[in-house]
Amino acid sequence: MNRILLYLVIGVIALLPLMPFTPAFWVTHLNYVGLASLVVLGLVLLTGVSGLTSFGQAAFVGIGAYTTAWFTTAMAGSPWLALIIALAITFLAAYAIGALTLRLSGHYLPLGTIAWGLSLYYLFGNMQFLGQHDGIAGIQPLEIFGISLASGRNIYYLIWACVLLGLWGTRNLLDSRPGRAIRALKSGQAMAESFGVNTARYKIIVFVYAALLACLSGWIYAHMQRAVSPSPFGLNYGIEYLFMAVVGGASSVWGAVIGAGLILTLKDQLQNVLPAIFGTQYNFELIVFGVLMVLVLQYAREGVWPILAHWWEILTGGSRGERRREPPPKAAVLPQRPRPETGKVVLEVEAIRKEFGGLVAVNDISFTLRAGEIMGLIGPNGAGKSTTFNLITGVLEPTSGLVRFQGERLDKLPAREISRLGVGRTFQHVQLLPTMTVLENVALGAHLRRNVGVVAASLHADRRIEAELLHEAAVQLERVGLGDYLYEQAGNLALGQQRILEIARALAADPVLLLLDEPAAGLRYKEKQELAAVLNQLRAEGMSILLVEHDMDFVMKLTDHLVVMDFGTKIAEGTPEYVQAHPAVLEAYLGGIDDDIEIEPAPGEQPGGPQPGVAPAGALEGGGA
Ligand SMILES: Nc1ncnc2c1ncn2[C@@H]1O[C@H](COP(=O)(O)OP(=O)(O)OP(=O)(O)O)[C@@H](O)[C@H]1O
């Protein structure tokens, strides 16, 4: 968000209660908005950013409120100690609940959150020492440095200081190493895992983070209301918080404040206006909310915040559109892993086999790849190339056979561990985080090269490491020719550029072995030439590269060694010249027949004739490297 707007918001928040004309009910209303904003901020991170829908946040508000209510009344304890206890209980409860429910996918997760939201609600209402459905009254107001926060105007500052801190911390978190991993949870889990991100762990972290914010809100609420009862912590409120997140804009931290403000103000106004119109006391506002939700989902799926941000952009002359052009500041170079000597065996594939039911997709394939070598894996459509690729990268487990990388078995390891050993990869279908910048996407590739915790990231204590990661990402982008697009949203790049971006991201992981799945697909002639130059350069630096590629012209000019597959079986292996002249290869490629497509002839040979599936780039894609 634009800085001017930020200062404006802070100024208004600071001055509003001081103004004599500000009515007391405004301050009270803003206090509720602030408390709800804290809960919704957690939901923005959990649901909007990470894609984990939770209906149960109100229960965590309840843990914060009930802990302090009981501890400060029954035990006459300090509310500050109560806050620590409440946060600790919430941490443990959220960790346990998260570990159980976050494994659930699809609609099972929201259903799981409803179940534990209801359980905690009934727990509050049935426990004798928590006052059952009557709750606990007589809670003391908070006091800071001798100043009582009993009045709405005083506690207002505590609430909004917490909201601003929460916004600041969450923004910092999102713009950091753990933040990039969190932003990959919604749509790029498999990709993130192959760069070493432990997605299951990050899901729990986000869940606990959101629960702690809700707990803080509950703690302040109890001391503001001076009494607690179960109803504000039930499922209805859980749904309302989610509603606020969706309406405000579930992918922006500011959406939390906007959503809470809009919904609570609307609810307040509707509760006044609707009974007067209809002459009854029924909760008509619920019907209006239902209609509003449908309209938001239909016409403003990203919520209100992006619309407001767009208006602000127009108002301030497009300041949001001004992108930084300069590269990130220079920083120390990240440590690099030792490279094997050129010519040393890096990858050994021994009789790997993959059966899908009765289909043998990969039939006892073996080959080796040496340091400083580019190997191509080719074959007609359905030959088993991608399956072989997935067996090496840990996406699939072989039925039998083994894969060794620098002497270590890969075939039993998950993708995350394979990446840790020094294997970088790209994807057949580009897997980027389209709303993140090109630079951030590539920095995700360097995830394992530095470690930053969530707390350090939230407090912005990660500046040096963050600078190193971004610097590394910029260097790799410069290397592959995308240095002019650092701050462009990755989704705005052309498909060919996105493929190149994937290579930069894989390079940011400092791999010893680079696995490229159809890197030239969608690239124009010049881009292919540039890609070939980059790959040649990498080979010269001792990198080992295995590529699956359909563009024969590109493959033949670039690779040292080829393995040709057909129907899951290796039918030939050798230099490009040897393979091009191999009868089994010609048979495999000529078998299907498209008379217009011709295989590139081996030196000194006549053109090979038509071929299906895999065809020379010149025929299928307009030229190669
Ligand atoms: N998950 C799966 N379940 C069942 N069959 C599969 C699965 N994945 C691949 N196959 C089958 O295995 C065979 C090899 O497929 P694979 O995708 O590895 O071939 P490919 O050489 O990469 O083809 P293309 O060039 O079209 O990508 C095909 O017959 C395919 O239908």
386 Cβ closer than 6 Å to some ligand 1 atom: yes
Q: Measured on CA atoms in the order 6, 9, 12, 16, is the torsion positive or negative? A: negative
Q: Read off the pTM.
A: 0.88
Q: What is the pLDDT of residues 315-365, one digit of tens each?
A: 877 654 444 556 787 888 898 899 899 889 999 999 999 999 989 999 999
CA distance 271 to 265: 10
DSSP, res 601: P
The residue to mutate among 354, 386, 548, 611, having the most atoms of ligand 1 within 8 angstroms of its beta carbon, is: 386
Across 284-303, b (16+ Cβ under 10 Å) vs e yields bbeeebeebeeebeeeeebb
Q: In angstroms, rounded to a whole number, what is the distance separating the alpha carbons of residues 420 and 194?
A: 9
Which residues, at least 6 apart from 435, have a Cβ–Cβ distance to it below 8 Å?
251, 489, 490, 491
3-state secondary structure of 570: strand
Distance 510 CA to ligand 1 centre (A): 29
The reported pLDDT for the residue numbered 1 is: 54
Q: Are 473 and 465 in contact (CB under 8 A)?
A: no
Q: 151, 144, 160, 165: which is closest to 224 by C-alpha?
A: 151
Name the β-bridge partners of 403. 349
Per-range mean pLDDT, top range of 3-17, 81-95, 323-337, 574-588:
81-95
Q: How confident is the model at residue 576 (pLDDT cuts 50, 70, 90)?
A: very high
**Residue 209 burial (10 A CB sphere; 0-12, 13-18, 19+):** buried
Token duo for residue 190? 């498999």
Burial of 314 (0-12, 13-18, 19+ CB in 10 A): exposed
- Residues 367-389, mean pLDDT to the nearest whole number: 93
Nearest atom (ligand 1) to Cα of 387: 18
- Percentage of the chain beyond pLDDT 70 is 92
Q: Which fold has domain 345-422+511-620?
A: Rossmann fold (3.40.50)
Q: Report the nearest atom of ligand 1 relative to the CA of 390.
A: 18
Alpha carbon nearest to ligand 1 atom 28, residue: 382
Q: How far is the CA of 555 from the centre of ligand 1 (A)?
A: 21
Q: Residue 366: its pLDDT value, please?
A: 96
Asked if 278 and 271 count as a contact pair (C-beta separation under 8 A), the reply is no
Six-digit token pair at 191? 């990709």
Tokens read off for 412: 């039993």
> Quick count: other Cβ atoms within 10 Å of Cβ 4?
11
The residues, ordered by sequence, that sit 6+ positions from 294 with a Cβ below 8 Å of its Cβ are none
Q: What average pLDDT does this structure show over 178-184?
A: 96
Q: Is the CB of 380 under 6 A from ligand 1?
A: no
CB count within 10 Å of CB 76 equals 8
Nearest CA to ligand 1 atom 25: 381
- At residue 514, the pLDDT reads 96
> Domain segments of the chain: what residues?
9-234, 345-422+511-620
For the ranges 181-185, 247-251, 498-502, the lowest mean pLDDT is seen at: 247-251
Would you say the CB of residue 441 lies under 6 angstroms from ligand 1? no
Q: Evaluate whether 114 touches 97 at the Cβ level (below 8 Å).
A: no
Residues 6+ positions from 539 with CB-CB distance below 8 Å? 372, 373, 374, 545
Which residues sit opposite 375 in a β-bridge? 546, 561
Residue nearest atom 4 in ligand 1 by C-alpha distance = 356
Closest of 379, 405, 458, 58 to residue 230, by C-alpha? 58
What is the pLDDT at residue 4? Answer: 76
pLDDT tops 70 at residue 70: yes
Owner of token pair 């996407």: 441
Q: How far apart are the CA of 547 and the centre of ligand 1, in A?
A: 16
What pLDDT, on a 0 to 100 scale, did the predictor assign at position 318?
Answer: 60
Residue 596 has pLDDT above 50, yes or no: no
Closest to 597 in 3D by CA, of 611, 618, 586: 611
In 290-445, DSSP assigns E strands to: 345-356, 359-370, 374-378, 400-405, 408-409, 423-425
Q: Is the CB of 384 under 6 A from ligand 1?
A: yes
Side chain identity, residue 345: V
Q: Atom 9 (ligand 1): residue with closest C-alpha?
A: 387
Hey, CA dihedral for 303, 305, 310, 314, is it positive or negative? positive
Amino acid at 348: E
The predicted complex's ipTM stands at: 0.97
